[in-house]
């Protein structure tokens, strides 16, 4: 459920016309419904009932400070994968003891920063990383809580780029290595195991793999308890699907994922952690783009828009089939067309062979379910400026990220050391 609705053939975000926001802030433009985000946090939490739990919002999905602050005010924690995300989470008001640090390639600096920040725990991704954490914590003489990330070797039946729980992926430890890691901590003075973790992928559209993987890590939890290692937290990860495209209605809802796993936690003295990102912010955001032209060739019609793959790369990177509709519905002939951007790549498209009304210059299109992995994966390719972002709360608008300027684009670059004499010297 979201709060993007058509009223009298015009798209609204909560109580505001999307066309009005596009006129005010220009396009391409990301628009987020805060009411949708707040609702998703509430529904996710309610699904657990009386089972102790903590929602650690996955900052990687959308790390805008306004989104993170909304998460904090909803009582959520945060799953971070870099120093940048950690600093943003703290700045937005996420409680330190509600933050977990994940990621397969943490640098020494990131590990030290996480230890000093007194977060809930660091997710250990390898035996080598565990040794590094032990050395760093010993060198600064500071205790650190850890959870080992298990690779349950489960096929989540999602896109291969975002399937992280398979045996062939770079993430986590095998069940055997996991047990070795916990037993090694018994000899580490400053390292304290407090949890166990998993994350099998993203945009998981079936609850079966989720349930199977949860059972596997709980079996490991029980083996550890039998050997005197009593953990407080079981982190079952995220990856819950966001609803987009024609098949959205058949996708699981948060309560479906929780229902498939919560039976395993009855009578266990643990707090369950989940790390939803996409399911929280995915359909809470849209990307609005303005039509530049309708271009016809001998066998194709192209709807050329001012947003490009630099603004939203999901359609080309993951072949994501996002719903695309006119912001203002008009009675025009419906034709098959490709919605494409201005980038100098054949891969610069949002949809192919899409049935849409014939679009005219200046018309607006909305790309739905763009709140996750949209702005955070944008770039300056073709020296294009990154888009502005606005949040809507009822009839209130908040500019949560300004559109970049050309000064922003050039900031940090330096051509002063390049001279004619230098270039001439390179010719010989």
* Set 13, 56, 303, 344: catalytic member: 344
Q: Which residues of 320-338 are buried (b: 16+ CB within 10 A; e: fewer)?
A: bbbbbbbbeeeeeeeeebb
Q: Is 56 a catalytic residue?
A: no
Residues forming the active site: 344
């Amino acid at each position: 459920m979201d709060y993007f609705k058509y009223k009298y053939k015009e798209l609204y975000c909560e109580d505001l016309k999307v066309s009005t926001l596009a006129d005010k802030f220009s396009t391409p433009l990301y628009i987020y419904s805060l009411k949708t985000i707040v609702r998703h946090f509430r529904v996710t939490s309610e699904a657990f009932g009386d089972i102790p739990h903590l929602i650690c919002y996955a900052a990687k999905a959308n790390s805008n400070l306004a989104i993170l602050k909304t998460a904090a005010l909803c009582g959520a924690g945060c799953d971070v994968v870099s120093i940048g995300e950690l600093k943003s989470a703290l700045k937005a008001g996420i409680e330190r003891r509600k933050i977990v640090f994940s990621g397969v390639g943490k640098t020494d600096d990131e590990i030290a920063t996480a230890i000093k920040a007194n977060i809930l725990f660091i997710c250990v991704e390898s035996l080598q990383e565990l040794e590094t954490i032990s050395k760093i914590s010993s060198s600064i003489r500071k205790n650190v809580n850890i959870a080992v990330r298990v690779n349950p070797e489960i096929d989540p039946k999602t896109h291969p780029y975002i399937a992280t729980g398979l045996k062939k992926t770079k993430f986590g430890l095998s069940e055997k290595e996991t047990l070795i890691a916990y037993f090694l901590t018994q000899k580490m003075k400053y390292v304290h195991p407090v949890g166990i973790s998993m994350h099998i992928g993203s945009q998981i559209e079936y609850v079966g793999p989720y349930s199977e993987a949860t059972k596997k890590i709980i079996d490991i939890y029980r083996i550890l308890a039998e050997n005197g290692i009593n953990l407080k937290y079981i982190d079952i990860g995220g990856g819950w699907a966001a609803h987009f495209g024609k098949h959205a209605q058949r996708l699981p809802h948060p309560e479906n994922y929780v229902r498939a796993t919560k039976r395993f936690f009855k009578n266990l003295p643990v707090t369950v952690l989940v790390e939803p990102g996409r399911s929280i912010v995915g359909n809470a955001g849209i990307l609005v783009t303005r039509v530049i032209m309708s271009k016809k060739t001998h066998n194709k019609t192209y709807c050329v828009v001012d947003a490009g793959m630099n603004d939203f790369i999901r359609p080309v990177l993951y072949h994501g089939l996002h719903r695309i509709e006119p912001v203002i519905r008009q009675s025009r002939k419906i034709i098959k067309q490709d919605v494409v951007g201005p980038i100098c790549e054949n891969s610069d498209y949002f949809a192919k062979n899409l049935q849409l009304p014939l679009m005219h210059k200046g018309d607006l299109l909305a790309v739905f379910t763009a709140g996750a992995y949209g702005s955070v994966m944008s770039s300056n390719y073709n020296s294009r400026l990154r888009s502005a972002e606005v949040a809507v709360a009822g009839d209130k608008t908040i500019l949560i990220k300004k559109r970049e300027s050309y000064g922003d684009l050039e900031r940090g670059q330096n051509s002063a050391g390049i001279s004619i004499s230098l270039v001439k010297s390179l010719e010989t």
